[in-house]
Amino acid sequence: MEVSRIRALRGPNLWSRQTSIEAIVSCEPQEREMMPGNEFEKQLRRIFPAVGPLEGSRPGQPASMAHALEKITLSLQNQAGCPITFSRTTATEEEGVYQVVVQYTEEAVGRLALAWAEKLCLAVKSQTAFDLNQALTELRDLDEDVRLGPSTGSIVDAAVLKGIPYRRLTEGSMVQFGWGSKQRRIQAAETDTTSAIAESIAQDKDLTKSLLLAAGVPVPIGRPAKNLEDAWQIALSIGLPIVVKPQDGNQGKGVTVNIVERELFNQAYETAARYGEVLVEKFLPGSDYRLLVVGNKLVAAARREPPLVVGDGIHTVKELVDKVNADPRRGDGHSTSLTKIKFDVIAIARLKLQDMEPSSVPEKGRRVILRNNANLSTGGTATDVTDDVHAEVAARVVVAAQMVGVDVCGVDVVCESVLKPLEEQNGGIVEVNAAPGLRMHISPSFGKGRNVGKAIIDYMYPNGDNGRIPVIAVTGTNGKTTTVRLTAHLLKANQLRVGMTNTDGVYVNGRQIDDGDCSGPRSARNVLMHPDVDAAVFETARGGLLREGLAFDRCQVAIVTNIGSGDHLGLNYITTVEDLSVLKRVVVLNVASDGMAVLNATDPQVAMMARMCPGDVTFFALDAHHPVLATHRAQGKRVVYTENSNIVAQQGKKYFRIPLSDVPLTRQGQIGFQTENVMAAVAAAWAVNVPWETIALGLSTFISDIQGVPGRFNVFDYKGATLIADYGHNPDAIQALVQAVDNMPAQKRVVVISGAGDRRDQDIRDQTQILGTAFDEVILYQDACQRGRSDGEVIQLLRDGLHGAVRTQYVQDIQGEFNAIDTALARLSAGDLCLILIDQIEAALAYIQGKVNESQLTSAK
């Protein structure tokens, strides 16, 4: 068995909606059919009993080693704690070659699981040892390392539930929610509206206290000390007991509480001084509470206790700690609701203060404190008290957050009970923490867990907003780019800042931000990241879909222009038109439930996709009476068609008509394929509620020139002859062009064509076969990229297609695109028509434009 070409499908893809690892696996003949109960499976189960049942692609079929690899990869991830379910193995056309797809939650973990699965297969096969524990430990550690921490994770989970898309910006805890202009960011429990100034204020306890005091919030009085002696004077003036802590500290480092005498005070000062300036404060009696404020609301509260053990009169302190730590809920990291009590020098020092040693046996019921602070990370516990908080306490806490200016914060309160106002019990607010940990509220050690992630998401996205902008995905064989550009133009006419990707580049709000073929998911993701995008239109080509999946989890509108007889068949295991259709329908499968698929009713492959769409469907067709469209219309659903030189959009009894004469792109409806593109774009704009007047205005102002849609039916006048430049490169495109050109009056018809080497022989021959019926003269040239074919091979195929052509009288071979153009132009007279099927779009168009300008200059003279 050999594993080659591993891909991470990072969005909805050919196989499923899940993010998945896809591998091409080739198996030796003896590995292809492994009957149930075979030696391999027996050995595998001995090593890895948890692996699921091995089955072939269909029930009853024998499994291959590739199937085993799939199941092992899945089970390894499951055993490591990743919640995944989807996996699949499919045999390809090639004998013994399989595509293995396994879902992942973390790409790195998925890849590692596949690597371990391969090792396990080989170990089983070669009867060598395999350390399953090591594999699982590595996977578990990696997962813990790369997946989001519990605080961030809880917020992301809440976002996902609300349908808000998210994307991690760093390997850490920075996450972006929403798309384009609706994007928001968080970093752990900090939002993008958390002010940097407020955070700095929260860091400065003294400043915080003075601001809280100004707001009438009870705080422990005190101030920073210049030196030890000054500190002691402050202590005396405040009155004992006091607290000594560093001015800028976190996680309770260097804090000593309840100091009543000088000796301990000196020690405490020294400890705190290690972390910076020392603060001396009044000691507030009672427990530590942490109250979580989100926006202007109190959303959770917990009472926190330092790590402690309770004596039983039998066991030593050390034994008691071990007993507590044996609790399976106590883990080592941040992910569990409890953490093991650290029994270190600090704990021993704390014991000493209670006149105890690790070997002491505390009497029954005695509480032995092992640390001063109550942080969960050092073994403390948290008890949810959200429902106990007195309204007055909540009010003070909210004011404290507001005064410091942090929108999401943890307010530390010390008081005897949160059931009573702070003022009645000498309680106070000791600290306001930006970016608070949420773990103690999500999974407190005792009491009810609170969905604080949801509170944060609801605060960031109020009123049911889900952070999405309209996303329109366009796919199909021909007409994608024009449809994308026109749809974007209609949205722009509706005052939206539009992000657009297509085969020419990435455009945001009119500015080109990237060039080249940008019809893949990377470019689409970039658009969704751009802060100035209110709506996005994506050309979604097959390449990116196969390579990485979609750039979005779902779209508002999916347009499929046509499949026809396909293009690029034979690549990447997409051999038939049906395969291609299965691939392209992925965009339809991932339409939002309140979204719309815009489908070509006349293309059977496309029309069939309708039943796969989770949302509604709009059919379009030139022919108002096409059965698919007519049926849909009869059901009161949306359709777009042409009738009496109008484009008609209809739903039930509601009509909207746009005369084709007001749509320059269609040349009075002469160019059928452009009319189809217009109908698709109209349906899409309709689906995202662009008003009809705006759609009509947009259509009237859209011109398919070099600036508008370069390489898509660009028409020029050359010495009285009509030149049409187009990028069409497959039989369907050529057929559409021929139909369009047929409607245009001309004396002699000339066509310039090359063949792209990456098409099937038949597809190349078909192109000239079509042209031979419509053109008098054919100029053939060899394009820049022969994609592995030998010199002259493509030209020969093109010539083959012309064999027995009914109309073509003259055929000539030329080397080079520009030479071919020159040759054709030289053969034109006024009144003739020449279709130039260009290859290097930008260069060829510039060349043609140059020729045209030159001819105009000459004629002007």
Partner 1 sequence: MSSKDIKFIRMTHLKGPNIWTYRPVLEAWIDIGDLEDFPSNTLPGFNERLQAMLPGLIEHRCSVGQRGGFLQRLTEGTWPGHIMEHVALELQNRAGMQTGFGKAREAGPRGIYKVVIRTRNETVSRAALQAARDLVMAAIEDHPYPVNQVIADLTQMVDRLCIGPSTACIVDAATDRNIPSIRLNDGNLVQLGYGANQRRIWTAETDQTSAIAEGVSKDKDLTKSLLANCGVPVPEGRNVASPEEAWEAAQEIGLPVCVKPVDGNHARGVSLELRTQAEVEAAYHLAEAEGSDVLVERHILGDEHRLLVVGGKVVAANKGEVASIVGDGIHTVEQLIEIQINSDPRRGEEEDFPLDTIRLKDHTTAVLELKRQGLSGQSIPEKDRHVVVMRTGNMAIDVTDLVHPDVAELAALAARIVGLDIAGVDLVAQDISKPMKAQGAAIVEVNAGPGLLMHLKPATGEARPVGQAIAAHLFAENSEPRIPVVGLIGQENTTGTSHLIAWLLHLQGLQTGLSSAKGLFLGQRCLHAQSGMEWESAQRLLINRSVEAAVFETTARHLLSEGLPYDRCQVGVITSMPKAAGLEDLYIHSDEQMPNVVRTQMDVVLSQGMAVLNAEDDEVANLAQYCDGEVTYFASSADHPRIVQHRSENGRVVFWRKNHLVLAQGAHEIEALNRQLPAIDKVFKNKHLKCMEVLAASAAAWALGIQTDLIRAGIKSFGQSPGAH
- Interface contacts to partner 1, rule CB under 8 A: 169-170, 174, 185-187, 190-201, 204, 207, 211, 213-216, 399, 402-403, 405, 434, 506, 508, 511-514, 525-526, 529-532
CB of 167 to partner 1, least distance (A): 11
What's the CA gap between 70 and 99, in Å, rounded?
10
What's the CA gap between 596 and 558, in Å, rounded?
7
What's the CA gap between 113 and 81, in Å, rounded?
12
Between 213 and 846, name the residue whose CB sits nearer to partner 1: 213
CB of 524 to partner 1, least distance (A): 11
H or E stretch including 494? Answer: none
Locate 665 and state its tokens.
Answer: 């792109």
Is 117 within 8 Å of 73 (Cβ atoms)?
A: yes
**How would you write 590-618 as a 3-class SS string?**
CEEEEEEEEEECCCHHHHHHHHHCCCEEE
Is 408 within 8 Å of 190 (Cβ atoms)?
A: yes
The packing angle between helices 841-860 and 817-826, to 10°, is 30
Between 195 and 739, name the residue whose CB sits nearer to partner 1: 195
CB of 583 to partner 1, least distance (A): 26
Locate 406 and state its tokens.
Answer: 């942090």
Between 186 and 558, name the residue whose CB sits nearer to partner 1: 186
Between 295 and 731, name the residue whose CB sits nearer to partner 1: 295
Cβ neighbours of residue 463 under 8 Å, at least 6 residues apart?
none
Reference 616, options 633, 632, 594; nearest CA is 594
CB of 634 to partner 1, least distance (A): 47
Between 264 and 529, name the residue whose CB sits nearer to partner 1: 529
CB of 199 to partner 1, least distance (A): 5
**Torsion angles phi and psi, residue 294, rounded to 5:** -125, 125
CB of 233 to partner 1, least distance (A): 20
CB of 245 to partner 1, least distance (A): 19
Is 537 within 8 Å of 519 (Cβ atoms)?
A: no
CB of 622 to partner 1, least distance (A): 38
CB of 508 to partner 1, least distance (A): 7
Residue type present at position 757:
G
Between 531 and 720, name the residue whose CB sits nearer to partner 1: 531
CB of 203 to partner 1, least distance (A): 11
Locate 260 and state its tokens.
Answer: 């009543």
CB of 513 to partner 1, least distance (A): 2
Q: How far is CA 848 from CA 155, 721, 746, 830, in A?
A: 56, 13, 20, 17
Between 437 and 476, name the residue whose CB sits nearer to partner 1: 437
- Which residue's structure tokens are 């452009």? 674
Is 64 within 8 Å of 89 (Cβ atoms)?
A: yes
Between 43 and 195, name the residue whose CB sits nearer to partner 1: 195
CB of 390 to partner 1, least distance (A): 14
Q: What's 34's DSSP letter?
A: B
CB of 195 to partner 1, least distance (A): 5
What's the CA gap between 505 and 72, in Å, rounded?
41
Beta-ladder partners of 434 = 409
Between 201 and 278, name the residue whose CB sits nearer to partner 1: 201
CB of 527 to partner 1, least distance (A): 9
Between 195 and 466, name the residue whose CB sits nearer to partner 1: 195
Locate 116 and state its tokens.
Answer: 């371990």
Locate 467 and state its tokens.
Answer: 């952070």
CB of 624 to partner 1, least distance (A): 43
**Torsion angles phi and psi, residue 331, rounded to 5:** -110, -170
**Torsion angles phi and psi, residue 346, rounded to 5:** -65, -45
What's the CA gap between 799 and 812, in Å, rounded?
9
Is cis: bond before 241, omega within 30 of 0? yes
Between 105 and 402, name the residue whose CB sits nearer to partner 1: 402
Largest CA distance in the chain: 114
Between 265 and 507, name the residue whose CB sits nearer to partner 1: 507
Count of residues in the chain: 861
What's the CA gap between 628 and 634, in Å, rounded?
10
CB of 141 to partner 1, least distance (A): 22
Between 407 and 839, name the residue whose CB sits nearer to partner 1: 407
Q: Apex CA 80: angle with CA 78 and CA 83, to 5°?
A: 40
Neighbours of 669 (CB within 10 A): 19
Between 156 and 848, name the residue whose CB sits nearer to partner 1: 156
CB of 210 to partner 1, least distance (A): 8
Burial of 758 (0-12, 13-18, 19+ CB in 10 A): middle
- Which residue's structure tokens are 């302190």? 317
- Which residue's structure tokens are 């499968």? 589
Q: How far is CA 517 from CA 502, 505, 710, in A?
A: 7, 6, 13
The packing angle between helices 692-701 and 480-493, to 10°, is 120
Between 197 and 634, name the residue whose CB sits nearer to partner 1: 197
Neighbours of 391 (CB within 10 A): 9
Between 512 and 645, name the residue whose CB sits nearer to partner 1: 512
Between 144 and 190, name the residue whose CB sits nearer to partner 1: 190
